[in-house]
Amino acid sequence: MKRVFWRFAALPVVTVIVSAAAAPAQLPPPLPAPPKELVLDQPCPAVAKTGTDSEEGGLIPLKVGLTLTRIWNIDDKDPDRESLTQVTAIDPVSVMTTTTGPSAINRRIATWTRRVCRADMRNAYLYQPSALTTDPDVVGGSTLFSLSTRAWRELDQQGRTRHRLIRLVAHWQGASEQLDIDREGVLADVQRGTMPVIVNDRLVDLPVLKASAKMLDKMVHVAILNDAHFPLVLDYNWPEIGYRLRYTKISYPSNAIERALTKDKRVDIYGIYFDFAQDVPRNESEPVLREIADLMKAHPDWTLAINGHTDNVGGATSNLALSRRRADAVRRALVERFGIDGRRFTTAGFGLSAPKATNDTIEGRAQNRRVELVRQ
């Protein structure tokens, strides 16, 4: 008899075989009963507007174009892989998101959408941060990229809150067990601190609540943005299992690029995204490309140098060529898609020669991969 237990997308499948001739192996503990609050593929319920619903009121505003960059790798030898979650629409009852990222199995880029109910962003204890392309449009009863306001408030005021990590099986419809990850604990041991994150092209220390929970007899460590409006889970670290989700870059439409070019005449852009070793801007780059095009239209006397920079993954020669191609791709997008006169741009690539931070960490490499704009 053979049973297969799936763990996480970034981990190997664990297969346990039991036969009559061999001593029984120790099996993982059974999954608990499915959460009663989990409601799949149903419309989001109506909610009353509250003071924490303001899209512009939070430290990180919940608005269309908000893009969260999550970096993961299989092991120390695997290059950093970026998964991007972007808010594409907001209505009174839900937030629509699109996520693109490489598969942990074959590295191919996959795309999936999810509608997060505002009611769940207020009250849910279930947390499903990773997803499959087969997931339903709505995973009611759970949050995607944040704790609920209720859970944040309990952490902030009482020092503890319920927490349940879940993930649906690949073919959840008709499955005898709809979840292949279902672990519950209590987030506690709250500490207040900060966490460095690139936000709209600047490295900032965001205020966080740090808490831990014991699940599977192993500790999970979580850093949550300390903000009732939008308590983003910035770091979710289960080191003994080898599972970690962390946001290294956050971008959203603003006038930050225009301010920097007006005052300092240069700005590093992190909201233009490329697949690993590729030179075609990903679809999530659209808000920032449009922002650059709009300010060029608003300032017809401006000319810009577009400079590409990389981290040190790969050789110096290949990174230099890649940075030049990426700078050219940004120029081409601004000219061909937004109608900006190409004579207003020059392009150059500097490869790994001008790092902003160390290349020894994921966060440092994320700072070094950038497009620099310089006003001439």
Q: Which domains does the chain have, with CATH numbers?
A: 39-251 (no CATH), 256-375 (3.30.1330.60)
* Residue 31 pLDDT class (50, 70, 90 cuts): low
Q: Which helix (H) or strand (E) holds 17?
A: strand 14-17
For residue 243, the model assigns a pLDDT of 81
Q: What is the H or E stretch that residue 366 is in?
A: helix 362-368
> What pLDDT score was predicted for residue 8?
40
pLDDT value of position 240:
84
pLDDT at 14 over 60: no
**pLDDT at site 73:** 55
Task: Please name the helix (run of DSSP H) or strand (run of DSSP E) that holds residue 157, with its range, or none.
Answer: helix 149-158
Neighbours of 265 (CB within 10 A): 13
Note the helical H segments in 219-350.
Answer: 256-263, 286-298, 316-336
Residues 114/144, Cβ–Cβ less than 8 Å: yes
88, 81 Cβ separation under 8 angstroms: no
Least confident residue range of 13-27, 86-100, 160-174, 267-281:
13-27
Q: What is the pLDDT of residue 328?
A: 97
Share of the chain above pLDDT 70, in %: 86
126: confidence class by pLDDT, cuts 50, 70, 90? very high
Q: What share of the chain is helix, strand, coil (3-state, %, to 5)?
A: 20, 40, 45
For the entire predicted model, the pTM comes to 0.80
Angle between helices 286-298 and 256-263 (to 10 degrees): 50
The pLDDT, as a whole number, for residue 199 is 93
Instruction: Output the average pLDDT for the chain.
Output: 86
The pLDDT assigned to 180 comes to: 86
pLDDT, tens only, 318-344: 999 999 999 999 999 999 999 999 999
Q: What is the pLDDT of residue 175?
A: 80
With a CB cutoff of 8 Å and minimum separation 6, the contacts of 81 are 71, 72, 73, 101, 102, 107, 276
The per-residue pLDDT for 48 is: 78
Q: Is the pLDDT of residue 55 over 90?
A: no
Residue bearing the bigger pLDDT, 108 or 282: 282
Query: Tell me, what's the pLDDT at 5?
Result: 35
Tell me the pLDDT tens digit for each residue of 235-289.
999 888 778 888 999 999 888 899 999 999 999 999 999 988 899 999 999 999 9
